Amino acid sequence: MHPMLNIAVKAARRAGGIINRASRNLDVIAVKEKAAKDFVSEVDREAEQAIIRTLREAYPGHAILAEESGSSGSSEFQWIIDPLDGTTNFLHGFPQYAISIALAHKGVITQAVVYDPVRNDLFTATKGRGAFFNESRLRVSKRPHIQTALIGTGFPYRQLDHLESYLGMMRDIIRNSAGLRRPGSAALDLAWVAAGRLDGFWELGLSKWDIAAGSLLINEAGGLVGNLQGNEGYLDSGNIVAGNPKIFAQLLPLIAPHLTAALRD
């Protein structure tokens, strides 16, 4: 394993330990509403601090972009961290959430870890060296037709500007696929596309820390990731489509009719 990936795995497992311990006592967790429907708990913050400490110890010069504490440092290496993706699920005891850690080198994602502490599922990738689930190689699904595909998504719930466009996409994808799922952790959803548990995925308005690691997992597992038009730029816009190459290509024309100018990024 690449030494930088190894440190990221160590950091993710430490955060996982904190999250698992806290999950046994959900009643006593202090929660704050950062913005409407945007919750952060002391567990998010503690997990993030544990990750940052671990990374800093090994790479004191690297920059960091973390959901709860923002960005710090300046370096061609930047760690992009979501300490707990799926906080709403976590707070409800709904066991679908993950830790996401990616490393960008000169703006290109080169290392990725998504760790599901509930199942002890570890998804990792190094650019150019493939993606792994625990010890074994990851491949996206081979399902060729969207009619038999299982598609993941995330519903808009905070920012509702694009709700009508989203519902149009959703209607067309429900009509044309085998089923739609909204598990509630974008990072884990993307890892599941990489693992072939989902054949495709799309969501609007995500943040960099939700998708940085997951997008490398998918690319390294033989899948495709793009913005709503299938192009680059999804890390900045947060609008993302992903899937095995065949399903990716069949999702785009179901999404295209519902794009407004603001969604063509």
Residue 206 makes contact with ligand IPD by CB under 6 A: yes
* Binding partner at 220 among ligand IPD, Ca ion, none, C-beta below 5 to 8 Å by kind: none
Q: Which is nearer to ligand IPD, 145 or 155 (CB)?
A: 155
> Three-state secondary structure along 116-178?
ECCCCEEEEEECCCCEEECCEECCCCCCCCHHHCEEEECCCCCCCCCHHHHHHHHHHHHHHCC
φ, ψ (nearest 5 deg) of residue 243? 170, 180
Residue 14 and residue 30: Cα distance in Å, rounded? 20
> Which residue stretch of 45-53, 78-86, 216-224, 252-260 sits at the interface with ligand IPD (rule: CB under 6 A)?
78-86
154 binds ligand IPD (CB under 6 A): yes
- In the bound state with ligand IPD, the residue whose beta carbon lies nearer, of 91 and 221, is 91
Q: Taking contact as CB under 5 A, which single stretch among the options 128-136, 146-154, 161-169, 205-213 is the one that binds Ca ion?
A: 205-213
194 contact partners, CB below 8 Å, separation of at least 6: 123, 125, 131, 138, 140, 214, 217, 218, 220, 221, 223
> Are the CB atoms for 193 and 242 separated by under 8 Å?
yes
> Least distance to ligand IPD from the beta carbon of 143, Å?
23
Candidates 69-77, 82-90, 114-122, 131-139; binding stretch for ligand IPD (CB under 6 A):
82-90
For the CB of residue 240, give the shortest distance to ligand IPD in the complex, in Å: 11
Q: Give yes or no for a contact between 211 and 191, defined as CB atoms under 8 angstroms apart.
A: no
Residue from the set 16, 117, 184, 243 that interacts with ligand IPD by CB under 6 A: 184
Total number of residues binding ligand IPD (CB under 6 A)?
11
Residues that bind ligand IPD (CB under 6 A): 82, 85-88, 154, 184-186, 206, 210
